[in-house]
Amino acid sequence: MTAERPSITDRIDAATGGMRLRRLRQADWSRRLVRETQLSPADLIWPIFVREGSDAPQPVESMPGVSRLSVEHCVEAAKRARDLAIPVIALFPYTNPSLRDETGSEALNPDNLVCRATRAIKAAVPEVGIMCDVALDPYTSHGHDGVMVGECIVNDESVELLCRQAVVQAEAGCDIIGPSDMMDGRVGCIRGALDDAGCRDTMIMAYSAKYASAFYGPFRDAVGSGGMLKGDKRTYQMDYANSDEAVREAAQDLAEGADMIMVKPGLPYLDVLARLAREFAVPTFAYQTSGEYSMIMAAVGNGWLDGDKAMVETLTAYKRAGASGILTYFSPKVAAMMRG
Protein backbone atom coordinates (compact mmCIF):
# COMPACT_ATOMS: atom_id res chain seq x y z
CA MET A 1 0.00 0.00 0.00
CA THR A 2 1.46 3.39 -1.02
CA ALA A 3 1.26 6.37 1.38
CA GLU A 4 -1.25 8.97 0.35
CA ARG A 5 0.42 12.08 -1.09
CA PRO A 6 -0.15 15.20 1.02
CA SER A 7 -2.41 17.75 -0.56
CA ILE A 8 -1.05 21.08 -1.76
CA THR A 9 -2.72 22.70 1.21
CA ASP A 10 -0.96 20.33 3.60
CA ARG A 11 2.35 21.07 1.97
CA ILE A 12 1.81 24.81 2.20
CA ASP A 13 0.74 24.62 5.82
CA ALA A 14 3.78 22.49 6.61
CA ALA A 15 6.10 24.98 4.91
CA THR A 16 4.54 28.15 6.32
CA GLY A 17 3.45 26.86 9.67
CA GLY A 18 0.02 28.09 8.71
CA MET A 19 1.18 31.69 8.54
CA ARG A 20 -0.35 33.08 5.40
CA LEU A 21 1.07 36.51 4.67
CA ARG A 22 -1.67 37.25 2.18
CA ARG A 23 -4.19 37.32 5.04
CA LEU A 24 -3.41 40.96 5.83
CA ARG A 25 -3.54 42.01 2.18
CA GLN A 26 -7.11 40.91 1.53
CA ALA A 27 -8.89 44.23 1.94
CA ASP A 28 -8.12 47.89 1.55
CA TRP A 29 -8.84 48.50 5.24
CA SER A 30 -6.42 45.81 6.41
CA ARG A 31 -3.73 46.95 4.00
CA ARG A 32 -4.10 50.47 5.35
CA LEU A 33 -4.05 49.18 8.91
CA VAL A 34 -0.63 47.56 8.60
CA ARG A 35 1.00 49.98 6.14
CA GLU A 36 4.51 50.76 7.38
CA THR A 37 5.12 54.07 5.60
CA GLN A 38 2.92 57.07 5.05
CA LEU A 39 3.56 59.80 2.54
CA SER A 40 2.26 63.19 3.59
CA PRO A 41 2.44 66.76 2.25
CA ALA A 42 4.82 67.54 5.13
CA ASP A 43 7.42 65.33 3.40
CA LEU A 44 7.67 67.55 0.35
CA ILE A 45 10.13 70.17 -0.84
CA TRP A 46 9.03 71.73 -4.12
CA PRO A 47 11.83 72.85 -6.50
CA ILE A 48 10.83 75.87 -8.62
CA PHE A 49 12.65 77.50 -11.55
CA VAL A 50 12.66 81.31 -11.48
CA ARG A 51 13.13 83.60 -14.44
CA GLU A 52 13.25 87.30 -15.21
CA GLY A 53 10.32 89.28 -16.58
CA SER A 54 6.64 89.07 -15.91
CA ASP A 55 5.53 86.91 -18.81
CA ALA A 56 3.52 83.75 -18.61
CA PRO A 57 5.19 80.60 -17.25
CA GLN A 58 7.62 79.19 -19.79
CA PRO A 59 7.46 75.40 -20.10
CA VAL A 60 10.70 73.45 -19.72
CA GLU A 61 10.66 71.24 -22.76
CA SER A 62 12.38 68.24 -21.19
CA MET A 63 10.20 68.39 -18.05
CA PRO A 64 6.53 68.14 -19.03
CA GLY A 65 4.37 69.96 -16.48
CA VAL A 66 7.26 72.13 -15.17
CA SER A 67 7.77 75.78 -16.12
CA ARG A 68 10.13 78.63 -15.37
CA LEU A 69 8.19 81.21 -13.37
CA SER A 70 8.49 84.98 -13.05
CA VAL A 71 8.97 86.33 -9.52
CA GLU A 72 5.29 87.20 -9.44
CA HIS A 73 4.32 83.67 -10.42
CA CYS A 74 6.74 82.31 -7.81
CA VAL A 75 4.77 84.17 -5.17
CA GLU A 76 1.61 82.52 -6.50
CA ALA A 77 3.35 79.14 -6.37
CA ALA A 78 4.36 79.79 -2.75
CA LYS A 79 0.72 80.52 -1.90
CA ARG A 80 -0.21 77.26 -3.54
CA ALA A 81 2.45 75.50 -1.45
CA ARG A 82 1.00 77.04 1.69
CA ASP A 83 -2.54 76.00 0.74
CA LEU A 84 -1.36 72.47 0.02
CA ALA A 85 0.63 72.29 3.30
CA ILE A 86 3.95 71.87 1.46
CA PRO A 87 6.51 73.14 4.01
CA VAL A 88 9.31 74.31 1.74
CA ILE A 89 9.97 75.52 -1.78
CA ALA A 90 13.46 75.44 -3.31
CA LEU A 91 14.37 78.20 -5.77
CA PHE A 92 16.60 77.72 -8.81
CA PRO A 93 17.30 80.68 -11.09
CA TYR A 94 17.51 80.71 -14.86
CA THR A 95 20.21 83.33 -15.37
CA ASN A 96 20.42 85.30 -18.57
CA PRO A 97 23.60 84.29 -20.44
CA SER A 98 24.70 87.94 -20.47
CA LEU A 99 24.98 87.86 -16.67
CA ARG A 100 27.22 84.79 -16.61
CA ASP A 101 30.97 85.12 -16.25
CA GLU A 102 34.07 83.11 -15.35
CA THR A 103 33.64 83.40 -11.57
CA GLY A 104 29.85 83.54 -11.39
CA SER A 105 29.91 87.03 -9.87
CA GLU A 106 26.14 87.45 -10.24
CA ALA A 107 25.83 84.90 -7.42
CA LEU A 108 27.08 87.59 -5.04
CA ASN A 109 24.68 90.29 -6.20
CA PRO A 110 22.17 90.89 -3.39
CA ASP A 111 19.69 91.95 -6.06
CA ASN A 112 20.05 88.91 -8.27
CA LEU A 113 16.98 87.02 -9.41
CA VAL A 114 16.93 84.41 -6.67
CA CYS A 115 17.32 87.06 -3.94
CA ARG A 116 14.52 89.17 -5.40
CA ALA A 117 12.28 86.11 -5.58
CA THR A 118 13.18 85.17 -1.99
CA ARG A 119 12.33 88.65 -0.68
CA ALA A 120 9.04 88.77 -2.60
CA ILE A 121 7.97 85.34 -1.35
CA LYS A 122 9.00 86.02 2.26
CA ALA A 123 7.02 89.26 2.22
CA ALA A 124 3.87 87.66 0.82
CA VAL A 125 3.95 84.13 2.26
CA PRO A 126 6.17 84.10 5.36
CA GLU A 127 4.82 80.75 6.55
CA VAL A 128 6.45 78.82 3.71
CA GLY A 129 10.13 77.89 4.07
CA ILE A 130 12.53 78.90 1.33
CA MET A 131 15.56 76.86 0.34
CA CYS A 132 18.30 78.15 -2.01
CA ASP A 133 21.09 76.25 -3.68
CA VAL A 134 24.67 77.26 -3.02
CA ALA A 135 26.75 76.54 -6.13
CA LEU A 136 28.00 78.78 -8.90
CA ASP A 137 26.69 76.83 -11.90
CA PRO A 138 23.67 79.05 -12.61
CA TYR A 139 26.08 81.97 -12.89
CA THR A 140 29.28 80.72 -14.51
CA SER A 141 30.01 80.93 -18.23
CA HIS A 142 31.50 77.41 -18.10
CA GLY A 143 28.59 75.84 -16.19
CA HIS A 144 30.69 74.50 -13.30
CA ASP A 145 29.76 74.82 -9.63
CA GLY A 146 33.07 76.40 -8.70
CA VAL A 147 35.85 78.59 -10.07
CA MET A 148 37.81 77.16 -12.98
CA VAL A 149 41.53 77.69 -13.35
CA GLY A 150 42.73 76.02 -16.52
CA GLU A 151 40.98 72.65 -16.51
CA CYS A 152 40.71 72.54 -12.71
CA ILE A 153 37.80 73.47 -10.45
CA VAL A 154 39.75 75.05 -7.60
CA ASN A 155 38.40 74.14 -4.17
CA ASP A 156 39.37 76.83 -1.69
CA GLU A 157 38.82 79.83 -3.96
CA SER A 158 35.39 78.39 -4.78
CA VAL A 159 34.49 77.95 -1.11
CA GLU A 160 35.30 81.60 -0.48
CA LEU A 161 32.72 82.66 -3.07
CA LEU A 162 30.19 80.06 -1.96
CA CYS A 163 30.31 81.48 1.58
CA ARG A 164 29.51 84.92 0.24
CA GLN A 165 26.73 83.51 -1.94
CA ALA A 166 25.22 81.81 1.11
CA VAL A 167 25.27 85.02 3.15
CA VAL A 168 23.69 87.04 0.33
CA GLN A 169 20.87 84.50 0.09
CA ALA A 170 20.38 84.27 3.85
CA GLU A 171 20.21 88.04 4.12
CA ALA A 172 17.52 88.05 1.43
CA GLY A 173 15.44 85.77 3.68
CA CYS A 174 16.39 82.26 2.65
CA ASP A 175 15.68 79.78 5.49
CA ILE A 176 17.64 76.75 4.28
CA ILE A 177 20.98 76.97 2.52
CA GLY A 178 21.58 73.94 0.30
CA PRO A 179 25.25 73.62 -0.65
CA SER A 180 25.13 71.51 -3.83
CA ASP A 181 28.66 72.26 -4.99
CA MET A 182 30.53 69.32 -3.40
CA MET A 183 33.66 71.35 -2.59
CA ASP A 184 35.63 70.06 0.41
CA GLY A 185 35.07 71.90 3.67
CA ARG A 186 32.31 74.14 2.39
CA VAL A 187 29.72 73.33 5.03
CA GLY A 188 31.90 74.43 7.94
CA CYS A 189 33.02 77.59 6.15
CA ILE A 190 29.44 78.46 5.19
CA ARG A 191 28.26 77.86 8.78
CA GLY A 192 30.99 80.21 10.01
CA ALA A 193 30.16 82.86 7.43
CA LEU A 194 26.44 82.71 8.24
CA ASP A 195 27.14 83.02 11.97
CA ASP A 196 29.52 85.93 11.41
CA ALA A 197 26.80 87.67 9.40
CA GLY A 198 24.31 87.22 12.22
CA CYS A 199 22.40 84.47 10.43
CA ARG A 200 22.63 81.91 13.23
CA ASP A 201 19.13 80.61 12.57
CA THR A 202 19.67 79.89 8.88
CA MET A 203 19.67 76.13 8.39
CA ILE A 204 21.99 74.07 6.21
CA MET A 205 20.80 71.07 4.23
CA ALA A 206 23.99 69.66 2.77
CA TYR A 207 23.92 67.85 -0.52
CA SER A 208 26.22 65.34 1.19
CA ALA A 209 26.14 62.48 -1.22
CA LYS A 210 25.75 64.14 -4.58
CA TYR A 211 26.82 61.92 -7.44
CA ALA A 212 28.13 62.83 -10.89
CA SER A 213 24.97 61.68 -12.62
CA ALA A 214 23.28 61.55 -15.98
CA PHE A 215 20.00 62.35 -14.26
CA TYR A 216 20.60 66.13 -14.03
CA GLY A 217 20.23 66.75 -17.77
CA PRO A 218 16.73 68.25 -17.80
CA PHE A 219 17.56 70.48 -14.79
CA ARG A 220 20.54 71.91 -16.65
CA ASP A 221 18.20 72.72 -19.55
CA ALA A 222 15.82 74.39 -17.13
CA VAL A 223 18.48 76.67 -15.61
CA GLY A 224 20.25 77.19 -18.93
CA SER A 225 23.60 75.68 -17.94
CA GLY A 226 23.45 72.49 -19.99
CA GLY A 227 24.82 73.84 -23.25
CA MET A 228 27.52 75.78 -21.42
CA LEU A 229 29.02 72.96 -19.37
CA LYS A 230 32.65 72.37 -20.28
CA GLY A 231 33.47 68.72 -19.61
CA ASP A 232 31.81 67.05 -16.64
CA LYS A 233 31.64 67.35 -12.86
CA ARG A 234 33.46 64.16 -11.89
CA THR A 235 36.32 65.91 -10.07
CA TYR A 236 33.92 67.15 -7.40
CA GLN A 237 30.65 65.21 -7.57
CA MET A 238 30.91 61.61 -6.34
CA ASP A 239 31.63 58.49 -8.35
CA TYR A 240 28.35 56.59 -8.59
CA ALA A 241 30.13 53.33 -7.85
CA ASN A 242 30.80 54.39 -4.25
CA SER A 243 28.81 53.99 -1.05
CA ASP A 244 31.42 54.04 1.78
CA GLU A 245 32.51 57.42 0.47
CA ALA A 246 28.97 58.73 0.98
CA VAL A 247 29.28 57.84 4.66
CA ARG A 248 32.52 59.83 4.88
CA GLU A 249 30.97 62.82 3.09
CA ALA A 250 27.93 62.84 5.38
CA ALA A 251 30.05 62.42 8.51
CA GLN A 252 32.17 65.37 7.49
CA ASP A 253 29.20 67.59 6.65
CA LEU A 254 27.57 66.82 9.99
CA ALA A 255 30.82 67.46 11.88
CA GLU A 256 31.04 70.80 10.06
CA GLY A 257 27.56 71.80 11.18
CA ALA A 258 25.03 70.56 8.63
CA ASP A 259 21.53 70.44 10.15
CA MET A 260 20.24 68.03 7.50
CA ILE A 261 21.81 65.86 4.83
CA MET A 262 20.69 64.81 1.39
CA VAL A 263 21.30 62.09 -1.16
CA LYS A 264 21.03 62.88 -4.86
CA PRO A 265 19.88 61.45 -7.24
CA GLY A 266 17.18 59.51 -5.46
CA LEU A 267 15.72 56.29 -6.79
CA PRO A 268 18.94 54.80 -8.22
CA TYR A 269 20.61 55.55 -4.85
CA LEU A 270 18.07 54.21 -2.35
CA ASP A 271 20.79 51.96 -0.91
CA VAL A 272 22.87 55.03 -0.05
CA LEU A 273 19.83 56.83 1.36
CA ALA A 274 18.91 53.87 3.56
CA ARG A 275 22.49 53.52 4.75
CA LEU A 276 22.92 57.18 5.69
CA ALA A 277 19.50 57.40 7.35
CA ARG A 278 20.31 54.37 9.51
CA GLU A 279 23.93 55.28 10.22
CA PHE A 280 23.46 58.90 11.27
CA ALA A 281 19.84 59.16 12.45
CA VAL A 282 19.64 62.81 11.40
CA PRO A 283 17.09 64.40 9.05
CA THR A 284 18.01 62.82 5.73
CA PHE A 285 16.46 63.91 2.46
CA ALA A 286 16.38 62.56 -1.07
CA TYR A 287 16.26 64.52 -4.31
CA GLN A 288 14.07 62.99 -6.98
CA THR A 289 16.04 64.60 -9.78
CA SER A 290 14.86 66.13 -13.00
CA GLY A 291 15.93 63.04 -14.93
CA GLU A 292 13.88 60.76 -12.71
CA TYR A 293 10.89 63.05 -13.14
CA SER A 294 11.34 63.24 -16.90
CA MET A 295 11.66 59.47 -17.28
CA ILE A 296 8.28 59.00 -15.65
CA MET A 297 6.68 61.83 -17.60
CA ALA A 298 8.08 60.60 -20.91
CA ALA A 299 6.57 57.17 -20.31
CA VAL A 300 3.29 58.80 -19.30
CA GLY A 301 3.38 60.85 -22.51
CA ASN A 302 3.67 57.64 -24.49
CA GLY A 303 0.83 56.00 -22.60
CA TRP A 304 3.20 53.43 -21.10
CA LEU A 305 2.81 54.23 -17.41
CA ASP A 306 0.06 55.42 -15.10
CA GLY A 307 1.72 58.66 -13.98
CA ASP A 308 -0.17 59.16 -10.72
CA LYS A 309 0.57 55.63 -9.57
CA ALA A 310 4.24 55.83 -10.53
CA MET A 311 4.50 59.16 -8.72
CA VAL A 312 3.05 57.90 -5.43
CA GLU A 313 4.93 54.60 -5.62
CA THR A 314 8.32 56.24 -6.16
CA LEU A 315 7.76 58.85 -3.45
CA THR A 316 6.66 56.17 -0.99
CA ALA A 317 9.80 54.19 -1.84
CA TYR A 318 11.95 57.10 -0.65
CA LYS A 319 10.08 57.15 2.64
CA ARG A 320 10.38 53.39 3.02
CA ALA A 321 14.15 53.71 2.53
CA GLY A 322 14.28 56.16 5.41
CA ALA A 323 13.93 59.62 3.88
CA SER A 324 12.67 62.38 6.16
CA GLY A 325 11.41 64.10 3.03
CA ILE A 326 11.83 64.41 -0.71
CA LEU A 327 12.67 67.22 -3.08
CA THR A 328 10.37 66.47 -6.00
CA TYR A 329 8.92 68.27 -9.00
CA PHE A 330 5.74 66.28 -8.34
CA SER A 331 5.18 68.16 -5.05
CA PRO A 332 2.12 70.25 -6.01
CA LYS A 333 0.55 67.35 -7.89
CA VAL A 334 0.98 64.75 -5.18
CA ALA A 335 0.01 67.19 -2.42
CA ALA A 336 -3.19 68.07 -4.28
CA MET A 337 -3.91 64.38 -4.75
CA MET A 338 -3.39 63.59 -1.06
CA ARG A 339 -5.66 66.44 -0.12
CA GLY A 340 -8.38 65.50 -2.60
Residues taking part in catalysis: 210, 264
Q: Which amino acid is at 221?
A: D
Size of the site for ligand PBG (CB under 6 A): 10
What are the angstrom distances between the C-alpha of 245 and each of 41, 63, 275, 321?
32, 31, 12, 19
Helices (H), 141-228: 155-172, 186-196, 217-223
Q: Does 137 bind ligand PBG (CB under 6 A)?
A: yes
Q: Does 220 bind ligand PBG (CB under 6 A)?
A: yes
If one counts every other C-beta atom within 10 angstroms of the C-beta of residue 319, the result is: 18
Q: Does 249 bind ligand PBG (CB under 6 A)?
A: no
Query: Is it true that the peptide bond before 265 is cis, omega within 30 degrees of 0?
Result: yes
Among 211, 216, 285, 318, the residue binding ligand PBG under the rule CB under 6 A is 216
Among 112, 165, 208, 289, the residue binding ligand PBG under the rule CB under 6 A is 289
Q: Which amino acid is at 18?
A: G
CA 274 – CA 332 distance, rounded (Å): 25
CA 133 – CA 212 distance, rounded (Å): 17
Which is closer to ligand PBG, CB of 90 or CB of 189? 90
Q: Does 135 bind ligand PBG (CB under 6 A)?
A: yes
Min dist CB 137 to ligand PBG, Å, is 5
**Residues in binding site for Mg(2+):** 249
Min dist CB 312 to ligand PBG, Å, is 19
Q: Does 106 bind ligand PBG (CB under 6 A)?
A: no
Q: Which stretch binds ligand PBG (CB under 6 A): 94-102, 160-168, 216-224, 271-279?
A: 216-224
Phi-psi region of 260 (alpha: psi -120 to 50; beta: other; left: phi over 0): beta
Residues at the contact surface with ligand PBG, assessed by CB under 6 A: 133, 135, 137, 145, 180, 216, 219-220, 289-290
